[in-house]
Structure 1
Amino acid sequence: MAQRDPGTREAGEGLGRFVAIWLGQIVSLAGTAITGFVLGVWVYQLTGSATQFSLIMLVEAVAAIAVAPLAGAVADRLDRRMTLIASDVVAAVATGVLLVLVNAGDLQVWQVYPITAVTAMCSTFRMVTFTTMLPLLVPEQHLSRANGLAQAGMAVQIAAPLAAGGLLATIGLRGVVLIDLATYGVAVAITLALSLPTRATRPTPVEAAERAGALAELRGGWTELASRRGLLTLLVVLGAFDFAFGLAGVLVQPLILTFTGPATLGVLMFAGGAGMLLGSLAMSVWGGPKRRVTGVSGFLAIGGVALAAHSLSPSPLLIGILAPAFLFTLPVITGCTMSLLQTKVAPNTLGRVMASARMVSQGATALAFAIAGPLADQVFEPMLAPGGALADSVGAMIGTGPGRGIALVFVITGAVLVGLAALAAASPTLRGIDDLPDLLHSTEVKGETDAELAAG
């Protein structure tokens, strides 16, 4: 009887561990997303303030940016398995505090913000550590597929409002928080049960001596990116896409509510999440193009066209087609970008590089959150009101009245993405990233499990 090749067996075991840890993270993300949406609804219903509602998202983004450099340094230097567990445990403690306040009837609006900040920080540690660990679990030929599948967490977060609305009506805020706590328990149990890579390599005495203090550790990701031609530019492109994603995420709900009701909004939000999930699954099967930069530029163009086309008509059917089409592109763009970063930088700096990538993404999203409302309400909506400055020009093409100014924001943002795609396709620097030497296997030890470390 033929024996199974050890390399094949090791790859299969790595994929199995990746799927297990991915499922744990998906469950945890789902619980957190549902709780976050329900808390936002609670704040809005209590205060009637859109500003306080949007402040929750802004606090979440700022907290993630602030802690990202530390998360990258921790992922590179400490036990990654224990970092995942600690992140879930601390987030569970913060959620437990929320449960105590809800049970006592003492929850106040201001308390939502620090709890949100803590869970966002824990999520950043979790995601940076997970993306750093991923190339140690998955064979390089399957890395783009795994990165595509990893984006399903975003789809879960977008689709959360539909489930959250039903849960809030049936089990209330206390029940939702209890479910969130249970999801952390599932994630921790799965992580504890698995033998996972803890770090890329043991730091050598020379490496330890070369560390120039905390600040050098924190900026290590940017230093590594600057040394690899084109990678920093690639992050700028990703940031531009995330900015567009942030604008669309904030403004699509007000846009939809100008021509339909909350029930339809929930269905359309679920459809958008389904589009992203489909993109994630497609990426996990396809793996993306051989030249990953082509995937980034090509799907940037597709996303830009879909985003701009939101302006064509105030129609639920149109949004129901275009929103999933736009969100379908996110797993492909992000998956290709993450795979390039994971293979083109040194493993012992990967955590800090991934933290830098998260800072760019979260920073672009936070900027979009901050300016989307004023840009729509104070600039473009008045311009496309009946009799407004653009009513007789742009208004003749996309219409005037409520929501048409927001539609113009979608046109402009979509056009910028198409232009960015053209620049990315024409840039020799970006086109050459795929040809950079792979550094994924540049160290002698790819990864060590807890058992191997104990034995060594």
Structure 2
Amino acid sequence: MTVTARAAKATAWSSPAFRFLLGSDAVTLSGSAVSTVALPALAVLELRASTTEVAVLAFLGQLPSAVALWAGALSDRRPKRPQLIASDLAAAGALVTIPAAALAGALTVGQLCVVAVVLGAAKVLHDAAAISLLPALVDPSQLHDANSKIGAASSVADSAGTNAGAALVGAVGPALSVLADALSFVVSALLIWRMRFLEAATASRARTSLAGDIADGVRYVARQPTIRTVIAALSTLAFGLAVMNTYWAYYLLDRLGASPSAFGVIMGVGGVGGLAGALLAPWIAARIGIGPTIIVGFAVSPLAQVPLLCAGPGLRWQIVLAATLVVQLFWATASGISQRSLRQAICDPAFQGRMQSASTTLTAGVRPLAAATAGGLVLFLDVRATLAIGALLQVVPVVLLLVSPIRALRKIPARAVVLPAREGA
């Protein structure tokens, strides 16, 4: 067998640096899933936070994602490995203050809010650096496989972390439970520190400000047709889903009479679809093409809402909804991995972080607006009609993709050269 043939059969797993990045992502997601359970429990059960304080805590945790452009600009401006380590250690340090303050009897909701902001900022910085670093760690032919492995590991880690979080909260209390998340960030920092690879030198942009870098990144995304279309589709899909998610749990629990345990089973079974979609994404794209894989994933989302809108109470409908969620998450994950690989492959390396942060900012930024829209709609319509509008909105991104060249893509193309507005001067 020739060297070329062996290289063609190699997978992303053959890269030691990728294995460290994969481990870092998996361990931090597991830990963060623990905090997802522990922090609300701490606020509600031990600090007796009001509904307003709980809402503020949730809002502040999501706020950094809605203004993530700074993280992408910083990622493209500086070496990424130190940023990954710094963001992990900052998150660990913030989390450790919670059990320390609890043991001293000084923990407040205000401190939880500060920790939520630090965690959110650390996450967007870590994600921008990690996602933009990935194309440098593996061969371009292995990029789809690398994203597939990350998606599968993330699915397992998130599920395991959520279950572990519930068990830890019950065993040691929510304040001490967050130490598991703090430890996960320390482990992640150690894994990144052990990562050995030659990172390409970051172009010097001392003559431009961070705001200038952000503006350059926005212009680059706006001028790259494929990336622009995919991000527009993602943000409009996020808006439609967020309209539905505002009342999705309420509709199942109150209107359809599902018990909390049945609700949990439906969500858990749906996660199996996400894991399968992550594992099979490269295989599907190889069979039907990268463009059709992306479009089918978007198209399944509004179709999957039809059983929900037609559902009634009872076990039979609960089984239907669980099966539908499996299919929806299968295709959503396969599509998500494919569109991320496509964006990474064609994006100029100098703009990888800003491209990803533009996507994060738009998809996260529309969610509060969508929740407010859902709240306004339900004042004039019933919950089912509001959910139906959310489902119809999810047709818009499908149309955007169908009228774009993405529908004809069978393989990930070579990087398109688009000169930036300022940095190319």
* TM-score calculated relative to the size of structure 2: 0.85
Mark the CA change 1:326 to 1:9 in structure 2 (over 3 Å): closer, same or farther. Answer: closer
Partner of 2:422: none
- The alignment partner of 2:394 has SS state of helix
Partner of 1:398: none
Letter aligned with residue 324 of structure 2: L
Separation of aligned partners in 2, 1:174 and 1:150: 30
Separation of aligned partners in 1, 2:76 and 2:195: 20
Return the offset for 1:136. 1.2
Separation of aligned partners in 2, 1:159 and 1:377: 35
- The alignment partner of 2:196 has SS state of coil
Question: Superposed, which structure 2 residues align to 1:377-392 within 5 Å?
Answer: 378-381=379-382
- The alignment partner of 2:208 has SS state of coil
Partner of 1:418: 395
Letter aligned with residue 216 of structure 2: G
Worse overlay, 322-331 or 334-343? 322-331
Return the offset for 1:265. 2.7
Give RMSD over aligned pairs.
3.2
Partner of 2:70: 70
Mark the CA change 1:156 to 1:97 in structure 2 (over 3 Å): closer, same or farther. Answer: same
Separation of aligned partners in 2, 1:7 and 1:63: 40
User: How many residue pairs end up in the alignment?
Assistant: 410
* 307, 310, 333: which one aligns with 1:309: 307
Return the offset for 1:54. 3.8
- The alignment partner of 2:381 has SS state of helix
Question: Superposed, which structure 2 residues align to 1:433-452 within 5 Å?
Answer: 438-439=414-415
Letter aligned with residue 401 of structure 2: A
Letter aligned with residue 320 of structure 1: A
**1:408-428 superposed Cα distances (whole Å, 9 cap, x missing partner):** 333332233235324421x14
Partner of 2:165: 164
> Residues 277 and 331 of structure 2 are in contact (CA less than 8 Å); yes or no, is this contact kept in structure 1?
yes
Is 1:84 aligned to 2:90, yes or no? no
Question: Superposed, which structure 2 residues align to 1:184-333 within 5 Å?
Answer: 184-199=185-200, 201-203=201-203, 208=205, 211-258=207-254, 259-283=257-281, 286-287=284-285, 291-314=289-312, 315-333=317-335
- The alignment partner of 1:151 has SS state of helix
Mark the CA change 1:234 to 1:144 in structure 2 (over 3 Å): closer, same or farther. Answer: same
Unaligned runs of 5+ in 1: 382-404, 443-456
Worse overlay, 358-367 or 297-306? 358-367
Partner of 1:353: 355
- The alignment partner of 1:105 has SS state of coil
Letter aligned with residue 236 of structure 1: A
Separation of aligned partners in 2, 1:108 and 1:169: 21
> Residues 305 and 391 of structure 2 are in contact (CA less than 8 Å); yes or no, is this contact kept in structure 1?
yes
Unaligned runs of 5+ in 2: 419-425
Mark the CA change 1:8 to 1:278 in structure 2 (over 3 Å): closer, same or farther. Answer: closer
> Residues 13 and 146 of structure 2 are in contact (CA less than 8 Å); yes or no, is this contact kept in structure 1?
no
Question: Superposed, which structure 2 residues align to 1:391-430 within 5 Å?
Answer: 405=383, 407-425=384-402, 427-430=403-406
> Residues 30 and 161 of structure 2 are in contact (CA less than 8 Å); yes or no, is this contact kept in structure 1?
yes
Mark the CA change 1:136 to 1:280 in structure 2 (over 3 Å): closer, same or farther. Answer: same
Partner of 1:177: 178
Question: Superposed, which structure 2 residues align to 1:3-152 within 5 Å?
Answer: 15-45=15-45, 46-47=47-48, 49-66=50-67, 68-152=68-152
> Residues 20 and 190 of structure 1 are in contact (CA less than 8 Å); yes or no, is this contact kept in structure 2?
yes
Letter aligned with residue 311 of structure 2: S
> Residues 230 and 433 of structure 1 are in contact (CA less than 8 Å); yes or no, is this contact kept in structure 2?
no
> Residues 96 and 181 of structure 1 are in contact (CA less than 8 Å); yes or no, is this contact kept in structure 2?
yes
**1:219-273 superposed Cα distances (whole Å, 9 cap, x missing partner):** 2221111222242222110112222343444433222321133233333332233
Mark the CA change 1:434 to 1:229 in structure 2 (over 3 Å): closer, same or farther. Answer: farther
> Residues 272 and 323 of structure 1 are in contact (CA less than 8 Å); yes or no, is this contact kept in structure 2?
yes
Mark the CA change 1:324 to 1:162 in structure 2 (over 3 Å): closer, same or farther. Answer: farther
> Residues 236 and 396 of structure 2 are in contact (CA less than 8 Å); yes or no, is this contact kept in structure 1?
no
**1:64-91 superposed Cα distances (whole Å, 9 cap, x missing partner):** 222x222112221212111111110000
Letter aligned with residue 88 of structure 1: D
> Residues 231 and 433 of structure 1 are in contact (CA less than 8 Å); yes or no, is this contact kept in structure 2?
no
Separation of aligned partners in 2, 1:441 and 1:96: 46
